[in-house]
Copies of this chain bind each other. A is one copy, B any other.
Amino acid sequence: MSVEVSPYEGDGVLAGYLKAAGVTLDIDKVRTLVAGVVGAPEGSQPDAWIDLVAPDAEEPLRGQLLVLKSIVEAETAQSLPIGERVSALRAELDRRGLDGFVVPRTDEHQGEYVPPRADRLRWLTGFLGSAGMAIVLKERAAIFVDGRYTLQVRTQVDIDVLEPKHLAETPPTQWIAETLPSGGKLGYDPWLHSENAVTTMRKAVEKAGGVLLPQAENLVDAIWAGQAEAPISPIVPHDLAYAGKSAADKRAEIGAALDAEGCDAAVLTAPDSIAWLLNIRGGDVPRAPMPLSFAIVHKSGAVDWFVDTRKMSPGLGAHLGNGVSVEDADGFPAALEQIGPRTVRVEASSAAALIFDKLRAGGTTIAVGEDPCALPKACKNPVEIGGARAAHQRDGVAVSRFLAWFADRAVTGDLTEIEAADKLATFRNEGDLIRDLSFDTISGSGPNGAIVHYKVSSETDRRMKPGELFLVDSGAQYLDGTTDVTRTIAVGTPTPEMKDRFTRVLKGHIAIATARFPEGTSGGQLDILARHALWNVGLDFDHGTGHGVGSYLSVHEGPHRISKAPSAVALREGMIVSNEPGYYKTDAYGIRIENLVTVVPCMALEGAERKMFEFETLTFAPIDRALIDLPLLDKREIAWLDAYHKQVLREVGPGMDEATRQWLEKATQPL
């Protein structure tokens, strides 16, 4: 925050200002609203929340609201010392007559991003990773993390209190089955585990001869003084000029699809599905412009939307229209119970167990199935694809400007990873329609590049040296589209091994970029194309080849992907997916080449007997020619890269100053 703050004049004075501005909220309600604002990310418009209290507020009201926010912020920062938290949780176990409690890193929506209020795992344990789970029993406690975090967890967590476990090697279910005492009562928060997860956990508990008990109040919330409130960030309309299809049309289509499958309604728990369906955006979680809410969509197309109404920006009601009934979020569980003997679709892998409990209590027939918005949301309409192309053009200008800037500076040995990431953000912020980055930039030089989910911090930051590789994976949220691009750049002269590996990764990238495939093909079927050149010499990379990307929404979305994992989801026209093969040499360097691509019908193919698709590449930024081992590429691959570079120059060249353009012309020369 860069605003100037005046001293707080007191609740009484503020109440007067509010009244004068025509605001009917009393001062206590304003304080709780501000607590929610503090629980939300700041985003690119950190003061937009003021509209939720007093639209178009002027001084001195505006200044006083801002200072109130910093006061509330300071109040919520206080909490129990970290060393006492597990003990406090055990005391709470005793109070409830439980023998253990499960603390996952999820919120009520089981999404990738959680607001500060839901980051109970971090508060309880100190673990900073983006996935994990703790189980605290009376005598023992463990924290489960995946392969990315097995080293990190030992530095962040007191391992005398919490035994670190590898999620895949000792899954929580196995640990429960072996560790929970017979007759033991294990508590869980039914908001924070999917129905499938609870079913699996129950089996493990029963194996141990224990019992799994849902808890109406989360045990961590009971002991977490200073816990953030649920986030409050303004919910705004997503303009039809970007969405391409009205919310009314979307609702009618989803309703008709449910009807055709014999469902009366579906419960939506994914915030991005609801944001897509209602053509709204928000800011409750970092980097993904969506409000947290729940919804029930009926076969008529009508929607019951359960949301903290304080988040609704002025005029949002009119945008939503008559088909959307706005209900307070607190009423959601009761509304589920009142659905009664109808058939309702719910996704068992993502919807909270509590939702199933409530539906069952009401006698509802549950049709387990996919979120009905997932597939239509993934298949972007022509307006969204047009927006994606425009967003990528601007993003390509920023990335290319950064690469030109980087080329001069990196070899000096004086440039750090953080400086590079900041400079890239600066170039992006000079473009139009930008709202945020789409994720924290991965800016890894030398050995840091080999850490797939590297997050640069002041502790890990380092200066780049000639002879190293620099990997930068970044993206932005534009009103008209979400971007995600990775480039790997040689600092100085690369080794022959680096060039060999880079070229094999590039061959994989080109194989995906040029693939043609019949209707019905899934990303799982294409995946090997990205790895073939690496496999030929006994190498591989340990992440997926591609993830779905939203349209000014989450940078990771389903249901499609390109990966080794078997998948039955076919790639369809309009889907956007990343194409990002890589190679990582631990403690040495990392390589990744990532463009976003979209599925398009195959251009007229003479004699084709099937309906064929191919990819259109959306991302435009030069690929480092200095890293190419030319004899490893065949003619077709060289032709692709030359054509791609020609297109880069055409797309992003016009947006540049003369010096940068000259650099770009050199960087995109034919091989």
A contact set with B: CB distance below 8 Å: 515-518, 520-522, 524-529, 532, 535-540, 564, 566-568, 602, 605, 607-610, 612, 634
> Is the CB–CB distance between B612 and A538 below 8 Å?
yes
* Chain B residues in 8 Å Cβ range of A517: 528, 535
Min CB–CB distance A433 → chain B (angstroms): 37
Cβ 8 A contact of A537, one of B524, B538, B607 = B607
Min CB–CB distance A533 → chain B (angstroms): 11
Question: Known interface pairs A528-B528, A529-B528. Does A538 touch B602 (Cβ–Cβ under 8 Å)?
Answer: yes
Question: Known interface pairs A528-B525, A528-B529, A567-B566. Does A518 touch B537 (Cβ–Cβ under 8 Å)?
Answer: no
Q: What CA separation (Å) do A612 and B532 show in the bound complex?
A: 12
- Counting from the closest, the 4 A-B pairs by CB-CB distance are A538-B608, A566-B566, A538-B605, A538-B612
> Is the CB–CB distance between B538 and A610 below 8 Å?
yes
> Is the CB–CB distance between A608 and B525 below 8 Å?
no
> Is the CB–CB distance between B608 and A537 below 8 Å?
yes
> Is the CB–CB distance between A535 and B564 below 8 Å?
no
Residue of B nearest to A604 (CB): B538
> Is the CB–CB distance between A526 and B528 below 8 Å?
yes
Q: What CA separation (Å) do A525 and B562 show in the bound complex?
A: 11
Q: Most chain-B Cβ atoms within 10 A of its Cβ — which of A518, A538, A608, A610?
A: A538
Q: Most chain-B Cβ atoms within 10 A of its Cβ — which of A527, A539, A567?
A: A539
Question: Known interface pairs A538-B607, A608-B539. Does A566 touch B564 (Cβ–Cβ under 8 Å)?
Answer: no
> Is the CB–CB distance between A610 and B540 below 8 Å?
yes
Residue of B nearest to A500 (CB): B607
Cβ 8 A contact of A535, one of B518, B536, B566 = B518
* Chain B residues in 8 Å Cβ range of A522: 566
8 CB < 8 A contacts A-B: A516-B536, A518-B535, A522-B566, A524-B566, A526-B528, A528-B528, A537-B607, A539-B608
Residue of B nearest to A634 (CB): B634
* Chain B residues in 8 Å Cβ range of A609: 538-540
Min CB–CB distance A215 → chain B (angstroms): 30
Min CB–CB distance A437 → chain B (angstroms): 33
Q: What CA separation (Å) do A526 and B524 show in the bound complex?
A: 10
Q: What CA separation (Å) do A660 and B521 show in the bound complex?
A: 45
Q: What CA separation (Å) do A536 and B608 show in the bound complex?
A: 9
* Chain B residues in 8 Å Cβ range of A564: 520-521, 525
Min CB–CB distance A521 → chain B (angstroms): 8
Residue of B nearest to A635 (CB): B634
> Is the CB–CB distance between A540 and B518 below 8 Å?
yes
* Chain B residues in 8 Å Cβ range of A605: 537-538
Q: What CA separation (Å) do A521 and B567 show in the bound complex?
A: 14
* Chain B residues in 8 Å Cβ range of A518: 535, 538, 540
* Chain B residues in 8 Å Cβ range of A607: 537-539
> Is the CB–CB distance between A612 and B535 below 8 Å?
yes
Q: Most chain-B Cβ atoms within 10 A of its Cβ — which of A515, A529, A535?
A: A535
* Chain B residues in 8 Å Cβ range of A567: 566
* Chain B residues in 8 Å Cβ range of A528: 517, 525-526, 528-529
